[in-house]
Amino acid sequence: MVRRATVVPCARSAEVFDRVQAGSVHAAVIPIENSLAGSVAEHFDLLLTRDVFIHAEFHLRIRHNLIAASGVPLQRIRRVFSHPVALDQCRDLFRSHPEMQAVPFYDTAGAVRHVIAEGCKDAAAIAAGQAARQYGGRILLAGIEDDRQNYTRFLLINKSKKIGRGANKTSLAFALKNVPGALFKALSVFALRDISLSKIESRPMRGHPWEYVFFVDILRGDDQGARNGLHHLGEVAEFVKVLGIYPAAKTESGTRPRAHFELE
Amino acid sequence: MVRRATVVPCARSAEVFDRVQAGSVHAAVIPIENSLAGSVAEHFDLLLTRDVFIHAEFHLRIRHNLIAASGVPLQRIRRVFSHPVALDQCRDLFRSHPEMQAVPFYDTAGAVRHVIAEGCKDAAAIAAGQAARQYGGRILLAGIEDDRQNYTRFLLINKSKKIGRGANKTSLAFALKNVPGALFKALSVFALRDISLSKIESRPMRGHPWEYVFFVDILRGDDQGARNGLHHLGEVAEFVKVLGIYPAAKTESGTRPRAHFELE
């Protein structure tokens, strides 16, 4: 889709969405959920509040590596820095290396930069191989994640509301009146039309504690049945926002998703 | 409930649940969701896999403070350490103090300990007032969170399956066959009995990417209608686990929840 892209670094997720909305970048790729760690809550909120549209989804297999400064051997490692989620996904490493202490850090790649910049002689970081190449670190152990079923789903977002060829999945957000059976009624608009849901997520509404916005993916593109369902949903919901209509990433149901491209 | 408790520190959430399950602690209090940041995914997974039971819920108002080492004035602060979620909840501070740079840290209280231990002359941390008292820091600015509607819901968990007096809320987890309309059918068991849901959450199932476990709270205790509903759910779900039956925290619907006790 984007063959040769210039990468624009952003410090915060809100900045990514603001740049896409303002048109100062053409598109953005954002993580939305991980098969072990769950949803990226902030990105659901930003999809709701910013004027952007989902154009594609991708599943990436996540691989973790133990990375240290060049010349530091495995036997010297006593402290291992990484994001708490990454540390938690590599428990077997710490079981087989009791001399290593897990130290939480705010970011995986940032942890690599830290151990390289500080010239740590007894510390390593857990991150993707890309971080080792970028900061000149050495991979001491590769593929150290406990569970190989570790995938992250990414979305390609853009300002344009165009629906691409082969679109067979729709992401939407809606809010409901706080009355009994409201969600049941809302889901009936899909069930009564044999439209499958592939995901449902509820998020607290900002400024209204314990009221929720629902994020739903349906396995249908822009056909008449789906349009009828959305119209019906509009009758029962407080608001409905279509977040994108795009081709579903190919996965074989119940088995390991076929990753479109691997990080390594 | 627990009038005089000895606090046992645990490094990881799994350890908290394991200790409750093994009986080496009497009970634990765990955060489960925040009104701004969303769910604590790992705790949902642990409620599912560990043999523990929810006995109560509490809503705590979260307050952020700018904390520095004693003797460091506000005008000298150039760097502010805290957990990314806390930094993100204090954007107004950084707008009105452009000389301050936000620096992500893995933990709010840990950031206070860091600036105190290092004797930082130009750095502060964002955390609860308790952290200032614990590590001997000084609060330079109090209540700096942008949105006062910032609450965290905590659960009291215990090994015993006893249902307390006044229980009017039930938390459950269930998995569904991956067939169209499955969630609709599952929710019908409550809708057809006029049982209200107060929350629904879907979590990826470990080892089965893009398959989901549902976490639902219903506003009913252990009465005949609720028992019938759960029995009916058992007919349509792959499995059902009751996570707890307990008294709902008092909140006025649509308005600010009445916090049972405040952090400050």
- Residue A260 pLDDT > 50: no
Chain A residue at shortest CA distance from B218: A180
Contact yes or no for B38 and A204 at CB 8 A: yes
**pLDDT score of A259:** 34
User: In the CATH hierarchy, which top-level class contains the domain A13-60+151-246?
Assistant: alpha beta
Express each pLDDT in A170-212 by its tens digit: 999 999 887 778 899 999 999 999 998 888 888 877 666 667 8
Chain B residue at shortest CA distance from A256: B209
**pLDDT score of B257:** 38
CA distance B33 to chain A (A): 9
The reply to whether B81 touches chain A by the CB within 8 Å rule is no
**pLDDT score of B70:** 94
Task: Summarize the confidence of residues B24-33 as an average pLDDT.
Answer: 93
The reply to whether B106 touches chain A by the CB within 8 Å rule is yes
- Pick the catalytic residue: B17, B81, B105, B152? B152
Is A152 a catalytic site residue? yes
- Select from A88, A207, A212 the Cβ nearest to the Cβ of B147: A207
**pLDDT score of B50:** 95
Contact yes or no for A180 and B188 at CB 8 A: no
Express each pLDDT in A123-144 by its tens digit: 999 999 999 999 999 999 999 9
- Residue B43 pLDDT > 60: yes
The reply to whether A42 touches chain B by the CB within 8 Å rule is yes
Q: Which of A148, A202, A258 to mutate to test the interface with B (most CBs of B within 10 A)?
A: A202
For A:145-204, CB contacts with B below 8 A are 147, 149, 151, 153, 178, 180-181, 183-185, 187-188, 190-191, 194-204
Task: Summarize the confidence of residues B16-29 as an average pLDDT.
Answer: 95
The CATH code belonging to domain A65-134 is: 3.40.190.10
**pLDDT score of B258:** 35
**pLDDT score of A251:** 59
- Pick the catalytic residue: B44, B105, B154, B190? B154
Express each pLDDT in B85-106 by its tens digit: 788 889 889 989 999 998 888 7
Pick the CATH number of B65-142 from 3.30.450.30, 3.40.190.10, 3.40.50.620, 3.90.1200.10: 3.40.190.10
Number of A to B CB contacts under 8 A, please give it.
Answer: 134
Is A81 a catalytic site residue? no
Instruction: For chain B, give every domain's residue range.
Output: 13-60+151-246, 65-142
SS (H, E, C) chain A: CCCCCCCCCCCCHHHHHHHHHHCCCCEEEEEEEECCCEECHHHHHHHHHCCCEEEEEEEEECCCEEEEECCCCHHHCCEEEECHHHHHCCHHHHHHCCCCEEEECCCHHHHHHHHHHCCCCCEEEEECHHHHHHHCEEEEEECCCCCCCCEEEEEEEECCCCCCCCCCEEEEEEEECCCCCHHHHHHHHHHCCCCCEEEEEEEEECCEEEEEEEEEEECCCCCHHHHHHHHHHHHHEEEEEEEEEECCCCCCCCCCCCCCCCCC
